Amino acid sequence: MKKRAVAVALLAAASVALTGCSASTTSSGTAAAACAPSTGKVDLTFTTWVPGMEDAVAVWNKANPDIQVKVQTGPNGNGGTYQNFFNQLKAGNAPDLGQIEYDALPNFRVQDGLTDLAACAGVLDAKKDFVDWTWGQVNFGEDNAVYAIPQDAGPMAMFYRADLFKANNIAIPTTWAEYTAAAEKIRATGGYITNFSQSDINQFAGLVWQAGGTWFKNDGTNWTVNLTDPTTAKVAAYWQDLIDRDLVSTNPPWTDEWNNAYNTGSDWTWNSAAWGANSIASGAPDTAGKWAVAESPQWAAGDKASGNWGGSSTAVFKGSKHPYEAAKFALWLNTSDEALTLLNKSANLYPAAKSGLELPALKAGVDFYGGQAIYDVFSKASSQVSPDFVWGPTMTQTYNDVSDGFKAAVTKKGTLIDALKTGQTATIAAMTAQSIPVNK
Amino acid sequence: MSTLTPTPGPVRPARRIRSTPGSAPRAQRENPFARASAMIVMGVFTLYFLVPVWWLLVAATKDRAQFTGTNPLWFADFSLFQNIGALVSYRDGVYLKWMLNSALYAGLGALVGTIIAGMCGYALAKYRFPGRELIFNVVLGGVLVPATALALPLFLIFSQISLTNTFWSVFLPSLVSPFGVYLARIYASASVPDELIEAARLDGAGEVRTFFTVSVRMMVPALVTVFLFQFVAIWNNFFLPLIMLRDETLFPVTLGLYGWNSQVNQIPVLRDYVLIGALLSIIPLIIIFLLLQRFWRNGLSAGSVK
């Protein structure tokens, strides 16, 4: 027993050292130059946490006996699957395909974990099939590179309690200034216009995105981090004012309190993404039929800008022996009406493909929203999302650091802009620690 | 034989079981204020531990509309059975598969792990050979290494032999229990008399037979303790399966529920399933504890009479 333990320990140490070496040698070996079809039957593995993916894949497997895809699953990305991907890349047994959210893609790119699919048949041509900004999320602004195929998107709009606005004779805000005015009136009735989320930093990022800001830039070699640019500062100051004047509630998101605030009509609006439609419907069941969706308030009257919250892609990992087949499958999965309909039904995915926006399921009225065809609003929003927003390579860390500060801010122990400044410093430190070239 | 002195191993569980009757006479001699404050502290902690379980029980009986809309600590309409029905039929009963997997990993793993630990501890206690103390000390060192820290190295090792994402990748590491070896050794040296082993040898029993027919019976309380600890540890083990497994049909229930819980934001119905699933998943633990605790106590008292 004892000796075995020692032997295992030694083996462990040795294998860590070995895999360390082998990982670094293989990573530069497989160039993106060729993407040739394999001969014979090909088996692919695909790790995803999207429920119902099996059904979509079953359709593919039936039609493509020579390219069989096996679905593997796990918790959502930040819940452990990303870390598993990194471990598997290190051990050399990563799946062929993986689910990766847009905000995590740069992390995998920096770690050299993705196969450039540009050489694979049909991939560059597929650019026209996707909503423009989603393509920007997967090629990182490089013209002849494609690191993943966009799957779904989270264009943002404003969910609001149509009945309450009407009963209290408050106009639906179309600008953020009107939103503040409405917030004051709503507060006078005892309610809150919305809830400011202390931990959904990607929601805040969506608001910055809408305002035209971006937190990261990459000039090809160096990263620039700018969590505190003037646009972000403007958005932060706006919400800080609402928090300071107690015009927004600050329940922790996705909790009972939070659901309850919506269910009892205490919170009136939610600036959220297309996939959020179901979150309200399930969290606030007593309010069925009373909600509606409008375009996001704008910074200047007449503007047409939207933010994005969430969305993910299908990537092919370095080390896959069948990038051609994997790319072919990923394109089908994310553009075919059949697959997109299934995924929308089972997981509320809102497609990134242009054709997906015209699915019958996304054209129908939704009872919970008084029969409004709410996805028309999101479809329009998706076309108004700026293609310039770039995610950083250490977003999990950035989110955590900013979120710590936001939690302090909602309890009046700090400010949002302070939190972003802290996040800025911590992000640069984290990137430096990982030897990611960054402008300080 | 009757002069057995208490040793750290068996005493620890004994104290826990007997704390209620044992502390009563002594408490009477203390002043009432001290006694009352002790009771208050215990009461508070009892509440502290039981309220979440109560909440879970209540939450699991509600349908989704009532879940947010009604008092979280009291029942609304009783729809526990509909909820359970929905849970076990979701995705072709994948939840039942997870429970079965957990039972396999924990039941089989704890059984084999207990046998291994018992044999190791017995050998360390009863046989004299060079390096015995060194081996024991290294095993003791193993108690200090958290299983979580070993998960990643294990993953890399299993990757080399292509065993990740298999039943074995979770089962094999579960068999190792340094604490079990420690406990078995302490207990064996205290409760298995050398004379008895000598007698068995004189009667012609081999070493293995002596162990299984004579020594194991005297070590039962320790072995049950090891089994319980190991069962709970494997049942609750989360990090290793998280790293090792990708195939949903191999998941233990902890990992499956965690996966669902991580998607509650986008698939709200999963929230109900996570709650009910969590409630059901603690039932086997409660059952095995209640069953084995009695056995465990009997074994302890039987051992002390001898």
Tens digit of each residue's pLDDT (9 = 90 or more) over B133-142:
999 999 999 9
Query: Do A84 and A51 belong to one domain?
Result: yes
Does A15 map to a domain?
A: no
Residue B243 and residue A87: Cβ atoms within 8 Å?
Answer: yes
Does A251 map to a domain?
A: yes
Please determine, for residue A30, whether its predicted confidence score (pLDDT) is greater than 50: no
What residue in B sits closest to A6 (Cα-Cα)?
B138
Question: Is residue B263 within 8 Å of residue A51, measured between CB atoms?
Answer: yes
Contacts B112 to A, Cβ<8 Å: none
Residue B267 and residue A283: Cβ atoms within 8 Å?
Answer: no
Averaged pLDDT for residues A416-421: 96
Is the minimum CB–CB distance between A17 and chain B shorter than 8 Å?
A: no
Does A188 map to a domain?
A: yes
Please determine, for residue B303, whether its predicted confidence score (pLDDT) is greater than 60: no
Is the minimum CB–CB distance between A255 and chain B shorter than 8 Å?
A: no
Please determine, for residue B79, whether its predicted confidence score (pLDDT) is greater than 90: no
Query: Do A291 and A392 belong to one domain?
Result: yes
Averaged pLDDT for residues B136-149: 91
Measure CB to CB from residue A15 to each of B157, B248, B258 and give the nearest one: B157
Residue B68 and residue A263: Cβ atoms within 8 Å?
Answer: yes
Query: Do A300 and A314 belong to one domain?
Result: no
By C-alpha distance, which of A101, A37, A91, A79 is closest to A273? A101
Query: Do A380 and A267 belong to one domain?
Result: yes
pLDDT at B243: 94
Mean residue pLDDT across chain A:
90
Label each residue of chain B as H, E or C: CCCCCCCHHHHHHHHHHHHHHHHHHHHHHCCHHHHHHHHHHHHHHHHHHHHHHHHHHHHHCCCHHHHHHCCCCCCCCCCHHHHHHHHHHHHHHHHHHHHHHHHHHHHHHHHHHHHHHHHHHHHHHHCCCCCHHHHHHHHHHHHHCCHHHHHHHHHHHHHHCCCCCCHHHHHHHHCCCHHHHHHHHHHHHHHCCHHHHHHHHHCCCCHHHHHHHHHHHHCHHHHHHHHHHHHHHHHHCCHHHHHHCCCHHHCCHHHHHHHHHCCCCCCCHHHHHHHHHHHHHHHHHHHHHHHHHHHHHHHHHHHHHC
Fold adopted by B92-305:
MetI-like fold (1.10.3720)
Residue B135 and residue A49: Cβ atoms within 8 Å?
Answer: no
Q: What's the gap in Å between the CA of A277 and the closest CA on chain B? A: 9
Please determine, for residue A295, whether its predicted confidence score (pLDDT) is greater than 90: yes
Residue A72 and residue B165: Cβ atoms within 8 Å?
Answer: yes
Instruction: Please report which confidence band the pLDDT of residue B245 belongs to, taking 50, 70 and 90 as the band edges.
Output: very high
Choice among A59-73, A90-104, A123-137, B280-294 with the minimum mean pLDDT? B280-294
Residue B259 and residue A79: Cβ atoms within 8 Å?
Answer: yes
pLDDT, tens digit (0-9, with 9 covering 90-100), for A124-154:
999 999 999 999 999 998 888 999 999 999 9
Averaged pLDDT for residues B54-74: 82
Instruction: Please report which confidence band the pLDDT of residue A33 belongs to, taking 50, 70 and 90 as the band edges.
Output: low
Does A302 map to a domain?
A: yes
Q: What's the gap in Å between the CA of A422 and the closest CA on chain B? A: 27
Residue A79 and residue B258: Cβ atoms within 8 Å?
Answer: yes
Instruction: Please report which confidence band the pLDDT of residue B299 belongs to, taking 50, 70 and 90 as the band edges.
Output: low
Query: Do A413 and A371 belong to one domain?
Result: yes
Averaged pLDDT for residues A288-307: 96
Domain boundaries, chain B: 24-78, 92-305
Q: How many domains does chain A contain in total?
A: 2
**Beta-carbon pairs below 8 A across chains A and B:** 127
Query: Do A161 and A111 belong to one domain?
Result: no
CA triple A227-A228-A232, angle to 5 deg: 90
Distance CA B1, CA A439 (A): 76
What residue in B sits closest to A48 (Cα-Cα)?
B246
Query: Do A40 and A111 belong to one domain?
Result: yes
By C-alpha distance, which of B112, B242, B192 is closest to A88? B242
The token duo for A289 is 């039929």
Q: Structural domain of residue A295, as residue ranges?
A: 156-308+366-439
Query: Do A51 and A93 belong to one domain?
Result: yes
- Polymer length of chain A: 440
Query: Do A300 and A329 belong to one domain?
Result: no
Is the minimum CB–CB distance between A278 and chain B shorter than 8 Å?
A: yes
Averaged pLDDT for residues B37-42: 94
Q: Which of B176, B265, B270 to mutate to test the interface with A (most CBs of A within 10 A)?
A: B265
Contacts 24+ apart (CB under 8 A), A217-220: A217/A390, A218/A106, A218/A140, A218/A141, A218/A390
Dihedral sign from CA coordinates of A99, A101, A106, A110 = negative
Instruction: Please report which confidence band the pLDDT of residue B226 belongs to, taking 50, 70 and 90 as the band edges.
Output: very high
The distance of Cα B256 from the centroid of its chain, to the nearest Å, equals 19
Is the minimum CB–CB distance between A21 and chain B shorter than 8 Å?
A: no
Contacts A275 to B, Cβ<8 Å: 266
Averaged pLDDT for residues B246-263: 92
Choice among A399-413, B26-40, B93-107 with the minimum mean pLDDT? B26-40
pLDDT at A324: 96
Where among A335, A362, A389 does a domain terminate?
Answer: A362
Residue A73 and residue B248: Cβ atoms within 8 Å?
Answer: yes
Contacts A151 to B, Cβ<8 Å: none
Residue type, A274: A
- Please identify among residues 281-300 of chain A the ones whose CB lies closer than 8 Å to any CB of chain B: 281-286
Contacts B134 to A, Cβ<8 Å: 2
Contacts A285 to B, Cβ<8 Å: 64-65, 68-69
Residue A2 and residue B134: Cβ atoms within 8 Å?
Answer: yes
Does A4 map to a domain?
A: no
Measure CB to CB from residue B153 to each of A12, A18, A285 and give the nearest one: A12
Query: Do A251 and A400 belong to one domain?
Result: yes
pLDDT at B66: 76
Query: Do A130 and A215 belong to one domain?
Result: no
Residue B155 and residue A91: Cβ atoms within 8 Å?
Answer: yes
Measure CB to CB from residue A283 to each of B242, B262, B268 and give the nearest one: B268
Query: Do A260 and A113 belong to one domain?
Result: no
Does A10 map to a domain?
A: no
Averaged pLDDT for residues A237-263: 93
Does A12 map to a domain?
A: no
What residue in B sits closest to A86 (Cα-Cα)?
B243
Q: What's the gap in Å between the CA of B196 and the closest CA on chain A? A: 25
Instruction: Please report which confidence band the pLDDT of residue B25 belongs to, taking 50, 70 and 90 as the band edges.
Output: low
Does A426 map to a domain?
A: yes
pLDDT at A3: 42
Please determine, for residue A8, whether its predicted confidence score (pLDDT) is greater than 80: no
What are the φ and ψ backbone dihedral angles of A47, each rounded to 5 degrees?
-100, 125
CA triple A321-A325-A331, angle to 5 deg: 130
Beta bridge partners of A114: A317
Residue A1 and residue B242: Cβ atoms within 8 Å?
Answer: no
Domain of A124, CATH number, reads 3.40.190.10
Measure CB to CB from residue B269 to each of A3, A6, A282 and give the nearest one: A282
